[in-house]
Chain A
Amino acid sequence: DIQMTQSPSSLSASVGDSVTITCRASQSISRFLNWYQRKPGKAPKLLIYAASSLQSGVPSRFSGSGSGTDFTLTISSLQPEDFATYYCQQSYSTLWTFGQGTKVEIK
């Protein structure tokens, strides 16, 4: 199995802050890495696919980068609606796996 490890597990930030979440794969996954946002009671929402491609309709303050084993999701100017839990997910192997999640909370 390819293990996906996110850091930090949680963070506190203020509206307007820039936030970076890291996702590390246990082996190289090229750029086959996706990011999702999950709010309580809501379905997960695709933000970024293929490491850096912005899903249609997602605000441009979200961006992704990385390749190989290390990836980042950056929210350039945190908005009130961005407080949520974020998950990375790899599809490089036939067993698709998610990171454990990063909860972004209001400071």
Chain B
Amino acid sequence: QVQLQESGPGLVEPSETLSLTCTVSGDSISSYYWSWIRQPPGKGLEWIGYVYYSGSTNYNPSLKSRVTISVDTSKKQFSLKVTSVTAADTAVYFCARVNGGNPNYYFDYWGQGTLVTVSS
């Protein structure tokens, strides 16, 4: 059974960098895309971007200038960095595995989510 677990600070100060890591267990990190999705309080889901196990990435254009997603296959982890955060970046952040094939992609395994609050 594939399991994903997010980790990282729950509180980030405005203008700082939000950093989260997702650890994958139960399956290989290779041959899949791995994604980050977030949900602000009271709002819907927003796809942030994905990283392929090879390191190639694709980001939501609305966040592209501030987001970096990277992968460390040796540790079976992938990470998210969001720079220059504001209160609008306060959200529950989910990591997820992407399955399917071009262009029919879907998120079949998700982490439990971690709340990140941007506040001083």
**In contact, A36 and B61 (Cβ under 8 angstroms):** no
Give every chain A residue within 8 A of B106 (Cβ-Cβ). 34, 46, 49-50, 89, 91
**In contact, B45 and A49 (Cβ under 8 angstroms):** no
Chain A, interface residues (CB within 8 Å), range: 20 to 34
Give every chain B residue within 8 A of A89 (Cβ-Cβ). 45, 47, 106-107
In the complex, 18 of the A-B residue pairs with CB atoms within 8 angstroms, ordered by the A residue number, are A32-B105, A36-B107, A44-B110, A46-B107, A49-B100, A50-B100, A50-B104, A91-B100, A91-B103, A91-B104, A91-B106, A92-B103, A95-B60, A96-B47, A97-B47, A98-B45, A98-B46, A99-B44
Q: Which of A32, A95, A96 has the most CB of B within 10 A?
A: A96
| Closest partner residue, chain A, to B107 (CB atom) | A46
Interface residues of B, Cβ cutoff 8 Å to A: 37, 44-47, 58, 60-61, 94, 99-100, 103-108, 110-113
Given A89-B106, A94-B58, A95-B60; A44-B45 close (CB under 8 Å): yes
Partner pick for A49 among B94, B103, B104, CB 8 A cutoff: B104
Q: Does A71 contact B (CB under 8 A)?
A: no
Cβ of B59 to closest chain A Cβ, rounded Å: 9
Given A43-B94, A44-B94, A46-B108; A87-B58 close (CB under 8 Å): no
Give every chain B residue within 8 A of A34 (Cβ-Cβ). 106-107
**Bound Cα distance A95, B58 (Å):** 8
| Closest partner residue, chain B, to A92 (CB atom) | B103
